[in-house]
Structure 1
Amino acid sequence: MSTTDDETYWDAFGDDPYDDELELDPLDANSHAPEPNLPFIPAPQSSAASFYGVYTASKRASFPHGSANLETRVVNTMAFMQAQGLNLELFMEAVFWGDSDCTANYTISYERTVFMRSPTLLSVLSNWWCPPTKESSGGGAAMKEFLVLRVGELLVEELEEVARTELRPPADALSAANLTSINFRDVILTIITMLAYSRSHKSSRLTMVWSIFLKACGLPARAFDTLHALGITMSHKWTANTFKAIAESAKGDTRLDVQLRRLLGSHDNLNIPMRVFSQRSHNLNHFINASAATIWILPESAFLPPDISSKVKEARRVAAQASEAFPLEDLYLGEEDAAARMHAQGRHRILRFLLDSPAFAEYSHRDDPLFAPPPPTDLLPCGVDHVVTQHILETVEVDESSYDGTDQLMNKIWLEQMGWGSDEEKRRTGMERLLVWAGDQLTVDRIRGLARYRHDDPNSFARMDWVEPVFGWFHATMVFANSLHAQYLGTSAGIGLRKAFETLSRKGLMKQETKGVFWHHLDEALWHVGEANFLALWAEVGEVSAHAELASKSPQELITILDTIHKKHASRAAVTDLENAAAEEQDEVKRQMVMLSADLLPYFDLREAMKIGDVGRMEDLLPTMLFRFAGGGNHKYAVEILELIYKLRTEWPDELR
């Protein structure tokens, strides 16, 4: 090669061919490689491809006009190779790390590096895989064999890396933080987990979580064996042992929180049908009546003084020695303020039905101060510092519906699981502690009845002075909805909820049920019926044929319509006016609908107050619930409501209220 050719050869780089900054192939000879102590760092692919692409492009542009075309140059080069005893195969083998001399030669190394980093390499490989012409002979078969081999090696490396770093469970594999830290949205993750688990059972982080989840869902053991064979879950035996280990760990956490924090408890009955696939005399289907309890650890803000137990006992003693029973007039203490708050909540609920309708989606005055919701009455604090922690105790095969079962649960089983089972802990419980315990009406009635039965026992623990039973508001809400169902069901031919249920094709709502999803469906139906009723009132009172016409009215005009709806179509005063009307003016259908509207608003108010934690609104509704349960035949819950009102106003000290 002449001097001129050499200069043209290196012009594309604009630098000396032996410049130290030149990027070399790391597999080339050590004599021209970077220093041993300095690791070789290749340039980014995008900049390297651009750099080497410029070099190749400059070579193409360097062809002088009128010279031999590319085909002639290639033929001449191959003839020269033949003269040197080389063909294309030998030449390529030598250039691409053929022997140590070719690897060490700087000129060969440079051209090899240019080719391997050039974007042209991809087009060359593509032409090898599939030649541009059918007559050409490609290397597709060889490349397929090569790809299968190399992709398999790469997959093995990736699986080993993933199994070693991502899927291997940490030391605290069964902790709540680890079990809930995996994202299940990517299906590819499950496939990778199956492949990794097939190589090592230690690569089982996701497999463990699937096993625990499916076991909790009641997956049968035979299905576990199938999924375990596929690498999706651990074995059934491992899962059973894991549940035992998790339970033991949770028991320790429960006892620690019970000793350090304020708490309340709750329990209810549990029915478990045990089924077998192949019955034998020693292996039969049977039904278990069990009980399950939960301990609720209150936040630090729920402070109770250390002497709260003695204060409650003293308040009970003073209330028991009162010369008069609880006067009925005390039910109406502060009733005017409570009635005003309930009136405001009812008005806003009717307004919300209109503002949340599709016709008002683009209403420009939604933020008008006239539409502002009433302030909360007594809202519980929220945030990270006010989170209530939940601890589930072990389910036991004891029927809580009997006094004997309640005695075992309250005075032995739950206390032992909480770490209060020793004689010293029982003494502290009777003397110093106060445990508020919630449940349905049966649970509370059994606890209260057991305490009455043991009122002459020799010590505070045996008398169960340390237990303060209260009814669960969720159960009271269900009874509230059932009371509305019983009062307004009506008939298919007349008026009432039955006709609405049949029109809406709501099945399973004609007869009250205590099990299953009856209350969920009933609650949903009450909301739908109430919304339709009040939207119809908006159209009737507003004298429009479509709600979209109301969107053209000002906020003040809508408030005027709202006051008319609430006063004349959804209040007790409106019901009284209709009942006192002359006989010829009596409208039974309208009276029933006005009374239904007036009764639905407190139910909606209770549901929203429970959802947001406004305990003040819930307390305001206690007299309304008392009269509904007393008049509707729910005498047991009427007693519970009256008991709670009495405790709030007379028996409980201020700290417990």
Structure 2
Amino acid sequence: MGVWLVANAASSYIFTVLGRMGLCVSYTTTRNLLDGLSQSTRKVIQEKAKWRTFLLIYDNINRMLHVWDPEFGDKDVMDSGTAATFVELQDCDVQKALDADVLETARAKQMRKSLDIDVLYGRIKHDHLLDVMAVHTLSFLVQHVPSIIHMQEHLTLRLQTSLAIHCMWKGRKTNIYPSATSDHDEGSTGGNQKVLDDLMLRQLSLDKEEIPKLLTIVGGDQSTVEKVRMLKRFLSSCPHGYARYGWVLPLIQLWHMGWADLERILSTHWSKKNSASDISTFHFMNEKLGRKVKNVKRPDFYPAQALVFDTLQAEVLDCWQEVLDTNNLILYFDQNPKSVEDLLALAKKIVYMYMSTIGSQEACLRKNESDQFKAGSVWMNSGPKATAGDQVLGNTILRMRDSMLHYEFQCAVADGDIGRAMNIMAVWTFMFCGSGKSKYTNELLEIACNFEYEYSDALQEAILNNWLCNLTGLDGCWFPMDLLQEHNIKQLKVMSNERVSSFGSNYFKNVIAYNVRNFLEVKELLQVATGLAKKNGAHRRKKKVIGLKLLAQTMREHQLHRYREGRTYGHVAKDDFATGYCTLDGTTRISDFVKRTSTDTSDVHGIDEDSSMDEPGEGDDEIEVDEMLDIDDKIDNGNLSLEQE
């Protein structure tokens, strides 16, 4: 009970009252227990660190210190620090994987100069994308129709076997140890140096002479790894091993990258005119469902993701109705049983028609010449007509494609299949470029160079096997390590609000920080033990069903997935993939990156990469779809256009 009270930032007065009632031990006793746990954790970490079988994840933590009774000149102050986690490496040969000399030798060969558009495009497993998107398309149907729900087990097995690329070992549990917090601000280059010194030298007690012999993987969000690289750039000329920080191997983490893709999807498919009348935009869906998602930089992650996924589910079910020529899917399957293989074949047809680059082009540019789409009623809107084809249908197809790719990324992460996740990241290389996200484009170009030319097989294996974490060992419970760090930081912030002491104070770093996972676990355990477990979500599911029915009715009324020539509301969704392909192929973007990083491997972003509008095609919303036709021969060969064979 005492640990639970500390976890909820209870005051000492509550300890006194409950102690007098015999419900908990004193605050002093609890504090001594936490001190003992912290010392034990510190010793375990230091012992494990000697074998170098670890990676470090860290991120900034901050809070606003409010002046409640301000005097002249007093004002609120932002208190910043850093929180870190020690993660044990598993399923890898550390001595081979983290050999710094091997990586240095590989980079000295400058094989990254071979990087070009064909290499980047070839990294995408096109056939696999078609198959896995078809499985998800059928899965949405299976979850909706009770009579075929038994097929879900087969679809799940298919993802775990024939469609698996690089899965974590079944039942594996990640061993993590929260580290002490500090007052160092990792938001600056100098702050990262202090953070690394604090972690490696003070907390882990490693020898300066031994550290450079092996690489140390340091993970974080895009901003963190950028600052670490900048630190390496500034100190690369230092003659001493440790002080050069060449032993640091920055590794971007994946939750923030997924968040960036959510932002891209909303921005591309929201409508610049901010019109809520166009059903092919998320602005329309947001208003129709009564959601509060905003088209802003870094939108709230979970509401934004729910809007994207709920819209995708409703659209997929509407596509099934079009393909099966029915208005009632449940009744249809009661009367017309089908096999899994037959339904998968139809699912591939849906993916090809409604989730592909070529499908969008067929709707917008080719005026449904091949009669790919069913004809809808004549478009009678009094406003302007589309100059070619059905713009609303073309926009919708691109929205479904982008949403399904994001859905596959999140499913791959949850399944612990980092290989499938990397396949989506290979697509995102083009999409981030096409949407003007320069820094994430550079990060993915760097990953391509690393895995194609520089990382040894052992190092690739070590990274792939330890890019995600699972705290329970249960299937479907894998998630990115930067999300783990965000959970820890959220709890640390709760506990920091009741104290004036800084993040680097003795109390906070030695009592609170080391025990943050204990606090999270005891809060959950006590909630379950008292019968106050989390709500089962029945009310939320009911609201979702109502929302899906509303979207289904709206889509039928608009004949969203039928071809209606001339249909438009003025919004033209940009094909981020095609735009990115043109930018990477038709400009010096790749050669500039290669030239810059061949001279200095830490110079991933360059000095002029702060703006996302610095290159042709990036951030340019005026690029018309027909400008992408000159790459049809390239795009149409893969499953991003998903041509039928």
Is the 2:135–2:155 Cα contact (8 Å) retained in structure 1?
A: no
TM-score, scaled to structure 1: 0.61
Is the 1:261–1:300 Cα contact (8 Å) retained in structure 2?
A: no
State which of 235, 241, 258 in structure 1 corresponds to 2:49: 258
State which of 317, 320, 326 in structure 1 corresponds to 2:115: 326
Q: Does 1:417 align with 2:203?
A: yes
Q: Does 1:571 align with 2:356?
A: yes
Secondary structure of 2:14's aligned partner = helix
State which of 496, 499, 502 in structure 1 corresponds to 2:284: 499
- Give CA deviations for 1:126-148 in whole Å, capped at 9, x if unaligned: xxxxxxxxxxxxxxxxxxxxxxx
Residues 1:634 and 1:415: Cα distance change in structure 2 (over 3 Å): farther
By relative contact order (CA 8 Å, sep 6+), the higher-ranking structure is 2
Residues 1:584 and 1:502: Cα distance change in structure 2 (over 3 Å): closer
Report deviation, 1:276.
8.9
Q: Which range moves more in the overlay, 608-617 or 494-503?
A: 494-503
C-alpha separation between the residues in 1 aligned to 2:183 and 2:153?
55
Is the 1:263–1:296 Cα contact (8 Å) retained in structure 2?
A: yes
Q: Does 1:243 align with 2:27?
A: no
After superposition, where does 1:572-651 map in structure 2 within 5 Å? 572-582=357-367, 586-651=389-454
Is the 1:299–1:387 Cα contact (8 Å) retained in structure 2?
A: no
Report deviation, 1:367.
6.6
The root-mean-square deviation of aligned C-alpha atoms, in Å, is 2.8
After superposition, where does 1:497-576 map in structure 2 within 5 Å? 497-507=282-292, 509-512=293-296, 514=298, 518-551=300-333, 552-555=336-339, 557-576=342-361
Correspondence for 2:178: 392
C-alpha separation between the residues in 1 aligned to 2:112 and 2:289?
56
- Give CA deviations for 1:62-102 in whole Å, capped at 9, x if unaligned: xxxxxxxxxxxxxxxxxxxxxxxxxxxxxxxxxxxxxxxxx
Report deviation, 1:588.
1.0
Is the 2:270–2:295 Cα contact (8 Å) retained in structure 1?
A: no
- Give CA deviations for 1:395-454 in whole Å, capped at 9, x if unaligned: 11111111111111113444321122xxxx111111x11101110111000000110111
Is the 2:405–2:424 Cα contact (8 Å) retained in structure 1?
A: yes
- Give CA deviations for 1:277-310 in whole Å, capped at 9, x if unaligned: 88899x9975421100111102255554287122
Residues 1:364 and 1:290: Cα distance change in structure 2 (over 3 Å): closer
Secondary structure of 2:86's aligned partner = strand
C-alpha separation between the residues in 2 aligned to 1:279 and 1:231?
40
After superposition, where does 1:279-294 map in structure 2 within 5 Å? 287-294=78-85
What is the identity, as a one-letter code, of the residue corresponding to 1:333?
A: G
Residues 1:327 and 1:367: Cα distance change in structure 2 (over 3 Å): closer
Structure 2: unaligned runs, 5 residues or longer: 368-385, 461-645
State which of 57, 74, 99 in structure 2 corresponds to 1:308: 99
Aligned length: 433
Structure 1: unaligned runs, 5 residues or longer: 1-209
C-alpha separation between the residues in 1 aligned to 2:25 and 2:157?
57
Is the 1:264–1:297 Cα contact (8 Å) retained in structure 2?
A: yes
Residues 1:306 and 1:594: Cα distance change in structure 2 (over 3 Å): closer
Secondary structure of 1:264's aligned partner = strand
Secondary structure of 1:655's aligned partner = helix
Secondary structure of 2:126's aligned partner = helix
- Give CA deviations for 1:355-398 in whole Å, capped at 9, x if unaligned: 111x2355576677999444201112133xx4321011101111
Q: Does 1:652 align with 2:455?
A: yes
What is the identity, as a one-letter code, of the residue corresponding to 2:121?
A: Y
TM-score, scaled to structure 2: 0.62
C-alpha separation between the residues in 2 aligned to 1:613 and 1:344?
18
Correspondence for 2:133: 346
Q: Does 1:487 align with 2:274?
A: no
- Give CA deviations for 1:517-559 in whole Å, capped at 9, x if unaligned: x101211222111111101111122111111133123125534
What is the identity, as a one-letter code, of the residue corresponding to 1:437?
A: V
Is the 1:572–1:595 Cα contact (8 Å) retained in structure 2?
A: yes
C-alpha separation between the residues in 2 aligned to 1:477 and 1:375?
21
Secondary structure of 2:109's aligned partner = helix
Percent of aligned positions with the same letter in both sequences? 20
- Give CA deviations for 1:253-282 in whole Å, capped at 9, x if unaligned: 11111123511111000113456988899x
C-alpha separation between the residues in 1 aligned to 2:200 and 2:415?
30
Is the 1:263–1:298 Cα contact (8 Å) retained in structure 2?
A: yes
After superposition, where does 1:19-418 map in structure 2 within 5 Å? 210-260=1-51, 262-273=53-64, 287-299=78-90, 301=92, 303-305=94-96, 308-319=99-110, 324=113, 326-335=115-124, 338-357=125-144, 359-361=145-147, 372-373=158-159, 374-383=162-171, 386-418=172-204
C-alpha separation between the residues in 1 aligned to 2:56 and 2:307?
32
Is the 1:538–1:565 Cα contact (8 Å) retained in structure 2?
A: yes
C-alpha separation between the residues in 1 aligned to 2:183 and 2:338?
63
C-alpha separation between the residues in 2 aligned to 1:280 and 1:615?
55
Residues 1:514 and 1:592: Cα distance change in structure 2 (over 3 Å): closer
Secondary structure of 1:499's aligned partner = helix
